Structure 1
Amino acid sequence: MDTSVSFLDSLQYTSDEEAWGRLVGMYSPLIRGWLKRYGASLDDMEDITQEVLTVVFRRFPEFRREPRPGAFRAWLRTIAANCLRDHWRKKNKQPPGIGGSDFGQVVAQLQDPESGLSAQWNREHDRHVIQYLLQEVRPAFTEKTWSAFQRFALDGLSADDVSQELGISVNAVFVAKSRVLSRLRQRGLGLID
């Protein structure tokens, strides 16, 4: 797969098993973590996660990320809330909600883009996706380039300190950061806005 293609663009072709495998690998842990908060059993977590990803797969051709930022994140959140609600209805269960609140209110908050719970979903989604994308793009860079990026962009050291630590020019530190961020932006286009 061409690494210059964004993650969402790679999903446009549903026959691309590698792209869909990465989607499952990226989103299964995030969805399971949210389900765990609702008191879902391990079996329920697996069933609901599979249902969410099945709906994403089936309905992806309908998804439009333009013109609003965070469209995929919001779309996924809505699908997850609907699948969660449908699953509990089928099983005739009412799991405890976050903070002791009513389960229906929790689902409603997940569906409301302005709620605090939706904001929490957005933050956790973005953090999770960034970590996944960092791991995904890491092999595309030399050890020195990655170290310069990590020490400068992630660890917060000055370009001068990184330059001295790694024995490279200050310009090379900035170039490393620029190259890695460019790849991350391209791969994450539409996932994190």
Structure 2
Amino acid sequence: METSLPWLGRLTAAPSDADWRRLVGDYGPLFAGWLARAGVPPADRDDLAQEALVVVVREVNGFEHRGPGSFRGWLRRVVANRARTYFRARRDAAPAVDLDALACDDTALSRLWDREHDQFVVGRALRAVEHDFAAATWRAFVLQAIDGRPAAEAAAATGLSLNAVILAKSRVLKRLRAELRGLVD
């Protein structure tokens, strides 16, 4: 996996088939979950999530990173707008959430989206980079960074030196930061 340019940069500059597959794999389930929360029936949810992904694909080149959270905010607005369009076309149904509040940057609903987005994306990033590291390195990282165990305890559990587990955590965190740049900051 290329680390010199973060995924978002590749997606907006020179996307590969793998970048597009990642977009669909990473964001399709997140979009579908929020569309479910908005009250979109299961029969229409996947199609509407796909429509939102098509908008992202079509318009991502025009996306400008304008500070922390701008990409997730842009995605949130894309999903809210697709849901608005859906409910406008179906006068017999109303959204289960305030789509205007979802589209705004500083509401309880948008903050919930932001938290869930970040948790979702970090989880996907963890799974994506895990295979870039030896099993002992990954275990040392998980013990320290995720489980909150002291480095000495991680060293004892993995059989690595104290220095090796400290370096393992540092290397994995550096790789994760590169992977997540622009997505959760």
Residues 173-193 of structure 1 show CA distances to partners (whole Å, capped at 9, x for unaligned) of 111111111111101110011
**Partner of 2:34 in structure 1?**
34
Task: Tell me the CA shift for residue 3 of structure 1.
Answer: 3.2
Distance across 1 between alignment mates of 2:91 and 2:149: 54
The reply to whether residue 117 of structure 1 matches residue 109 of structure 2 is yes
Sort the Cα spacing of 1:62 and 1:96 in 2 relative to 1 into closer, same or farther, 3 A: closer
Number of matched residues? 185
Task: Tell me the CA shift for residue 97 of structure 1.
Answer: 1.6
**Partner of 2:133 in structure 1?**
141
Sort the Cα spacing of 1:93 and 1:178 in 2 relative to 1 into closer, same or farther, 3 A: farther
Per the normalisation by structure 1, the TM-score is 0.91
Aligned residue type for 1:41: P
Task: Tell me the CA shift for residue 12 of structure 1.
Answer: 2.2
Distance across 2 between alignment mates of 1:114 and 1:12: 26
Aligned residue type for 2:89: K
Aligned residue type for 1:109: A
Aligned residue type for 1:139: H
Distance across 1 between alignment mates of 2:26 and 2:53: 11
Residues 36-78 of structure 1 show CA distances to partners (whole Å, capped at 9, x for unaligned) of 1122222311121011100000001100113x11110000001
**Partner of 1:49 in structure 2?**
49
Share of identical aligned residues, percent? 41
Aligned residue type for 2:8: L
Aligned residue type for 1:97: A
Aligned residue type for 2:3: T
Task: Tell me the CA shift for residue 93 of structure 1.
Answer: 4.0
2:140–2:154 contact (8 Å) kept in structure 1: yes
Per the normalisation by structure 2, the TM-score is 0.95
**Partner of 1:132 in structure 2?**
124
Task: Give the secondary-structure state (helix, strand or coil) at the position aligned to 1:12.
Answer: helix
Distance across 1 between alignment mates of 2:15 and 2:77: 25
The reply to whether residue 6 of structure 1 matches residue 6 of structure 2 is yes
**Greater mean alpha carbon deviation, residues 12-21 or residues 166-175:** 12-21
2:38–2:83 contact (8 Å) kept in structure 1: no
Residues 119-149 of structure 1 show CA distances to partners (whole Å, capped at 9, x for unaligned) of 0000000000000000000100000000000
Residues 1-41 of structure 1 show CA distances to partners (whole Å, capped at 9, x for unaligned) of 52332110120246511101101100011111111112222
**Partner of 1:79 in structure 2?**
78
Distance across 2 between alignment mates of 1:87 and 1:57: 19
Distance across 2 between alignment mates of 1:11 and 1:113: 24
Aligned residue type for 1:63: F
**Partner of 1:103 in structure 2?**
none
Which of structure 1's runs of 4+ aligned residues deviate more than 3 A? none
Aligned residue type for 2:104: D
